[in-house]
Amino acid sequence: MDRITKTFMFCAAVIAGLSAVSCVKETASVRNGVSGIILSPDFSRPVYVKSVDRTPEYENTIRDVWVIPLDNAGNVLADGGASRARYFSGQDITALEDGKYMIEVQLGTPDEVLFIANTGNSTLFSATNVNKDFVKAQSMKVASESELVPQNTGIIMSGSWTSNGSGTIGEIPMKRAVSKVNLILRTGAGLGAKQEAFAVQSVQVMNVPNMLYYYRYPSEFYPGNGVPVYPPVNESFVPVDYPAVETEDTPVTELWPDLEWMSSASGLSGRLVTADGIGKDEFWWYLPENGRGTGTASDQRYKSSTDMMPAGQAGYCTFIRIKGFYKSGELATAVTYDVYLGENNTDDYNIIRNTDYTVTVTIEGIDRMDTRINAGLEDGGFEAINYIDYTDNASPWMVVAADDNGQVNSSNMVLPSGWNVPAKKDMMLAWAYPAVDKQVFAGAYFWLSETSADNPLIRWFVNMGVGEIKPAQANETYSLCGVKYVTTGFRYPYVQGGKGGSNVIVSRDSNGGVKSEYLRTAKTSTVNGVEWDWSVDGTPRHTEVDASNIVSAKFEVGPLATDPDFQKRVPWDDAARYCSDMGEGWRLPTQRELMLIFVMNDYLKEGLLPSTTQQHPGDETQQHVFYWSATEDKTQEDSESYAWSVCFCHGDDAEHSLITGKVEGYMKSGTNYVRCVKDIYD
């Protein structure tokens, strides 16, 4: 049998490091079937010290290596009945001056060679019936983090070479079978100014796989498109939780001694995270790979929702649990934040081998956590991937652009690839924040995606001159605009506390959000040359085209009416009077605010009720359909006698569910329902 000589250069890919040194490709010469294998680990950087502590050199160590030559059928090559798979350790591995390692091996004429380092097991792949599938199926049990980085061997690594017919082999990049997760914990820059603070008590990695595969092909890193999740969900896969890293610094009752503490805080400690947006705490862990796939969340606020996770994987996705105490005013509250890991901060739940994840968590409030994830993938050099940086500004829910091809009927609504015909809520949002190009949008009618529920020949449209939304015959000709939905970033507006967390809608906060010129950010504004205090005087008299038709940067939507007389339809004057009589700054919402409430209604803790045949708490009944705004309708000849209203008609009422989302002017002497709003100023 002819034998070829190959020199192998192994570049051991490092998973921890601010940067990576690329491996220089060197080609081996052919001599008597002996191959020289060179291994070249990289360097690491200082990290937070905890119970499992390994020096940077340890991550770069190769103490043993299996070399497994395979034929074109994926079976191990044999020589005289003996397997050519070879285990190297001790003096068989030569350390070179440049931090690389070299071994020499006789390979025969392989089609593929697999390399697995630091198993510490000299019989693992010694059988003559070893094949590719056998190698891929081998795994080790993991009961703790220390088993991933044992004292006597290095980190498990693997690599491969496939024949190109040249008879020579260059460097072999070695991929570590583990990942490294670095947590940077800080607070938002605005906390100090608000006299708020956060003290971390502990951090803990949860749902860690209890097994690790020695070898994985790069084409099988990411589940989906025929690649299964891994480890597979069976009786052998039992996730474990790493021990919590306790900060054990200062008793929390001493951090803020002026506060009265619950008994549950007695004996607990925490470390104050500097509230300047600069100071930080750092933690790190080694993790087994965990390919759980992709979920459906489009915003980081919902990544922890089990409904958004890949089907059947909720109990197996890895996350970091941060516990601490949040101080706001005279109150300090025990809080827990769960940060689910993955390739991004929205829908990916994969922990990929040989990847350095830096997760930056910025505590912005008692119920708000911003996350940034950078993934460093080692292929001859780290590639930093910035998925999102929340600490700078914000993202909208969507962007909108007008088509300049003139008016079309609804059968000719053709948009460029990636753009969608907007729905009612999309254009309500575009109207709520008048950021669109007024030269293009003002006064124009635009088709919407919805058709009438009982007649597809009737399609909805929006009048961007006044915010009116109503149906028209589909053969009418209107303008066309498109939307693109934003799937990354902390999107504004949002409901404080997440879905169902409160009745507070936030368009802008201390971290950014909707541009301030499209919002009212102060208690007072100038109305007809006079300073008007919205918190005292209520919503000023205005029409849809006046400056007072504006959205408050942060406002609360009132709960169900407390007065039984207002749990039914009332004329406009009575609705305005009811809000005024509530005091404490309650008022009727503007047209734009009411449309924004419609957009965010499903996220509110206690949203505006739709029409339904069922009786609601508080005796709100099937007539619950249109709601009043404070904005008068200037399109009417007698504008003072009309005001804008919005139909919240999502129920099973056949009469009204067909017109949900309709925005129309209505006689003030008529009757609609009322919900008041109140501005919130931080």
Report whether CATH 2.60.40.2580 matches the domain 7-176: yes
Task: Give the bridge partners for 331, in sequence order.
Answer: 328
**pLDDT tens by residue, 291-336:** 999 999 877 777 888 888 999 999 999 999 998 888 877 677 778 8
* Token duo for residue 621: 């009944």
Arithmetic mean of pLDDT, 183-209: 86
**pLDDT tens by residue, 416-445:** 777 789 999 999 998 998 765 555 566 689
CATH topology for 548-679 is Mannose-Binding Protein A; Chain A (3.10.100)
Let me know if the fold of 398-485 is the same as that of 548-679: yes
Bridge pairing between strands 157-162 and 171-176: antiparallel
Helix 424-432 crosses helix 591-600 at what angle (to 10 degrees)?
Answer: 140
Instruction: Tell me the C-alpha distance between 671 and 311, whole Å.
Output: 46
Hey, which CATH number is domain 398-485, 3.10.100.10, 3.30.300.280, 3.40.50.720, 3.40.50.300? 3.10.100.10
Arithmetic mean of pLDDT, 253-268: 68
Residue 346, pLDDT > 60, answer: yes
Side-chain-facing half-sphere of 183: CA atoms under 13 Å:
26
Phi/psi of residue 257, nearest 5 degrees: -65, -15
* Alpha carbon of residue 93 to chain centroid: 45
Higher pLDDT, 616 or 568: 568
Predicted confidence at residue 668, as pLDDT, reads 96
Hey, which CATH number is domain 180-389, 1.10.1760, 2.60.40, 3.30.2010, 2.40.480? 2.60.40
Predicted confidence at residue 318, as pLDDT, reads 96
Task: Give the bridge partners for 679, in sequence order.
Answer: 555
Arithmetic mean of pLDDT, 330-348: 83
Instruction: Tell me the C-alpha distance between 484 and 210, whole Å.
Output: 41
- Contacts of 347 by beta carbon, 8 Å cutoff, 6+ apart: 294, 295, 296, 297, 298, 303, 308, 487
In this predicted structure, which of 146-150, 382-386, 465-469, 650-654 has the lowest mean pLDDT? 382-386
Please write down the HEC assignment for all residues of 433-495.
Answer: CCCCCHHHHCCCEEEEEEEECCEEEEEEEEECCCCEEEEEECCCCEECEEEEECCCCCEECEE
Instruction: Tell me the C-alpha distance between 31 and 586, whole Å.
Output: 88
Predicted confidence at residue 49, as pLDDT, reads 30
Predicted confidence at residue 340, as pLDDT, reads 92
Residue 635, pLDDT > 90, answer: yes
Q: Where are the beta strands (DSSP E) in 40-118?
A: 64-70, 78-79, 82-83, 86-89, 94-95, 101-106, 112-117
* Token duo for residue 50: 């905890």
CB atoms within 10 A of CB 384: 12
Domain boundaries, the chain: 7-176, 180-389, 398-485, 548-679
Handedness of CA 475, 476, 480, 483 (dihedral sign): negative
Instruction: Tell me the C-alpha distance between 70 and 59, whole Å.
Output: 28
3-state secondary structure of 508: strand
Residue 24, pLDDT > 80, answer: no
Residue-averaged pLDDT of the chain: 78
**pLDDT tens by residue, 99-157:** 677 888 878 889 999 999 999 999 999 988 899 999 999 999 999 998 888 867 788 99
Predicted confidence at residue 379, as pLDDT, reads 34
3-state secondary structure of 374: strand
Do 673 and 627 meet the contact criterion of CB atoms below 8 Å apart? Answer: yes
In this predicted structure, which of 131-135, 560-564, 576-580, 665-669 has the lowest mean pLDDT? 560-564
Query: Residue 76: pLDDT band by 50, 70, 90 thresholds?
Result: very high
CA-to-CA dists, residue 524 to 510, 533, 580, 593, angstroms:
19, 4, 17, 17
Predicted confidence at residue 142, as pLDDT, reads 94
Nearest to 42 by CA among 66, 69, 64, 24: 24
